[in-house]
Amino acid sequence: MDLRFAGTDSGIDGVEAIRRLAAEAPGMPVVMLTSYSGRADVVRALEAGARGYVLKAGPPEDLFRAVRSAAEGGLGLAAEVVGDLVGQVVSPAPELTQREREVVRLMAGGHSNRSIADALYLAEATVKTHLVRIYRKLGVDNRAAAVAEAVRRGLPELT
């Protein structure tokens, strides 16, 4: 299954297709074969029921190994995917606070610093301080990149 699979129904991607397969054919092993290696994508696919996650750019042996492992009831993950997931556990990315998530949500809605300050009953300087911390935690340097990274990480307020 491809992560960005475009099904016949609008709005269906590979993760949703896996969810539906799991509901209609429980126990059917599905391996995700995709170009997207983001941590949030891998986690979403595995939570939906994928039994493997392999990158299209990887060696064919990764795919063969993942398919065999999934067919035997195991989990088949490409080495890059495992490394990324283990890296997250060993050295997790700093989490945004609840207030920082609120600021990102309002940024995603196109609000200015002044508008965010008014909505959250904060001083505009406090909003700027939150932005500096958000940018640092997300590893970005502007508002658009912060929102994009927050969405990529699967912040529930934005998805």
Q: Provide the pLDDT for residue 57.
A: 87
Structure tokens at 109: 């809605």
DSSP 74: S
DSSP 95: P
pTM above 0.85, yes or no: no
Alpha-carbon distance of 3 to 34, in angstroms, equals: 6
pLDDT, tens digit (0-9, with 9 covering 90-100), for 13-61: 888 899 999 899 988 999 999 887 777 788 888 888 999 999 888 889 9
Q: In angstroms, how far is CA 133 from the centroid of its own chain?
A: 21
**Of the given ranges (2-6, 15-19, 90-94, 148-152), which has the lowest mean pLDDT?**
90-94
Q: Which residue has the tokens 């934005």?
A: 158
Residue 88 has pLDDT above 90, yes or no: no
Q: Provide the pLDDT for residue 99.
A: 94
